[in-house]
Amino acid sequence: MSENPWLTIVGLGEDGPEGLSPASRKALEDADVVMGAARHLSLLPDLKAETITWPVPFADGIPLLLEHRGRKTVVLASGDPFWHGAGTSLTKHLQPGEWQALPAPSTMSLAAAALGWSLESTATLGLHAAPFARLRPHLANGTRAIVTLRDGEAVPTLAAWLSEVGFGASTLHVLEALGGPRQRIRETRAETFDLDTIQHPVCVAIDAFGGPALTSVGGKDDALFDNDGQITKRPVRALTLSALAPLPGEHLWDIGGGSGSIAIEWLLAHPTTKATSVEIDPTRADRISQNASNLGADRLTVVTGAAPNALDGLPTPDAIFIGGGISEEMLQAVWAALPESARLVANAVTLEAEVLLANWQADKGGDLLRIELAQSKPLGRKRGWKSSYPIVQWSVQK
């Protein structure tokens, strides 16, 4: 990093100048320009530099900031700018050496210290500009989470959402203006939320209780996915995800999305995975998007259209799953789009599709797996086994 960066990102707590480090104080003293939210600027009333209030929406402030490139500029941010803060939103527009950061304790650290919680075992999420459903994979009896919220009005809305998804018995610790003279910490239950006049900035620490929880392995309950019967059922889904083998940062193409269960579970495997679901039926495509939103996988991209034409222009995949519409044309197009070392998994139900997969496996290699499942069903006054259609699965690494 350069010894003389023009931009300094200063983390600021609710105690204003009292909590500034010597380095942060010097950066402010030397600054020609200080940019920050109105609330941050009000905490530092004696600034000598030119002050600019950061506009809303946040993105509108980036061009204003870049106009000052080369001048000594300070941007004020809450706590640690790189812990659910504005840091990466700023630095992605800058070159190495143009900036330095001087963080203060994050909201998450202050909340954990106030409650005596261990941060390493607590989920931390920034929900000030994200849907509450991002919390869904983290909710189970005994789990804890600390989340930042947009403002005080968002807190009862969060409580209502927790009640709707079955976690109304959770304890909520509402922490306001942490680290400053206005600090206040109150406790309530989500389902009987009764707090008012909640001041900003605010975060909520959640002691979760209720259910149903999402399991942490592939093959989640079919009932979690709204569907019209077009769904890869739980046992087959578990085997399919095992074959797809998601890794952090990888991108999946889910062709013939149905209910979106494969793509959604791929995304739930790790917070950095990405996925595109391709579905020809518009009603099902809408249902996939809603399922993804409900289960905290709203980063799923849904493309309505028929493969292989709908695959044009999609990001390069690390893995491809074909769950429906297997044909020679489809396999030719998908194989051509599959990069070296990427993985392909295809499930076939019909004899015609099974023959196609057998021929391709003979030519390209990989594994063929025949999946035969049976469930116990009433048979008169007793029980018997009712078999599902067998599924042939081809999995291969190119």
pLDDT in tens, the chain (398 residues): 446 899 999 999 999 999 899 999 999 999 999 999 999 999 998 899 999 999 999 999 999 999 999 999 999 999 999 998 899 999 999 999 999 999 999 999 999 999 999 999 999 999 998 999 999 999 999 999 999 999 999 999 999 999 999 999 999 999 999 999 999 999 999 999 999 999 999 999 999 999 999 998 999 999 999 999 889 999 999 999 999 999 999 999 999 999 999 999 999 999 999 999 999 999 999 999 999 999 999 999 999 999 999 999 999 999 999 998 899 999 999 999 999 999 999 999 999 999 999 999 999 999 999 999 999 999 999 999 999 999 999 999 99
* Helix (H) / strand (E) containing 76: strand 73-78
Integer CA distances (angstroms), 124 to 139, 161, 195, 203, 314, in order: 12, 18, 23, 10, 31
Q: 332 with 375, same domain?
A: yes
The total number of structural domains that make up the chain: 3
Mark which of 105, 120, 147 sits at the end of a domain: 105
Give which of 359, 349, 139, 70 is closest to 236, Cα–Cα: 349
Phi first, then psi, for residue 397 (nearest 5°) are -110, 125
Mark which of 207, 236, 260 sits at the end of a domain: 207
Q: 91 with 143, same domain?
A: no
List the domain range (segments joined by +) for residue 58.
7-105
Count of CA atoms in the C-beta half-sphere (13 A) of 141: 3
* Helix (H) / strand (E) containing 376: strand 374-379
Q: Where are the alpha helices (DSSP H) in 257-393?
A: 261-268, 282-294, 328-337, 351-364
Q: 175 with 245, same domain?
A: no
Q: 59 with 123, same domain?
A: no
CA 22 to chain CA centroid, nearest Å = 36
Q: pTM of this prediction?
A: 0.90
Give which of 225, 234, 222, 220 is closest to 287, Cα–Cα: 225
Is 286 a domain residue? yes
160 vs 154: CA distance, rounded Å: 10
Q: What is the pLDDT of residue 324?
A: 80
Q: 92 with 184, same domain?
A: no
CATH number at 26 reads 3.40.1010.10
Q: 155 with 131, same domain?
A: yes
192 vs 164: CA distance, rounded Å: 13
CATH number at 334 reads 3.40.50.150
Is 2 a domain residue? no
173 vs 142: CA distance, rounded Å: 15
Q: What is the pLDDT of residue 355?
A: 96
Q: 31 with 137, same domain?
A: no
CB 74 within 8 A of CB 28: yes
Q: What is the pLDDT of residue 1?
A: 43
Integer CA distances (angstroms), 323 to 33, 219, 307, 353, 396, in order: 56, 15, 12, 11, 15
Q: Provide the 3-class DSSP secondary structure of residue 71.
A: coil
Is 371 a domain residue? yes
Q: What is the pLDDT of residue 325?
A: 83
Is 245 a domain residue? yes
Q: 390 with 322, same domain?
A: yes
* R_g of the chain computed on alpha carbons: 26
Q: 178 with 248, same domain?
A: no
Mark which of 105, 126, 146 sits at the end of a domain: 105
Is 122 a domain residue? yes
Q: 100 with 121, same domain?
A: no
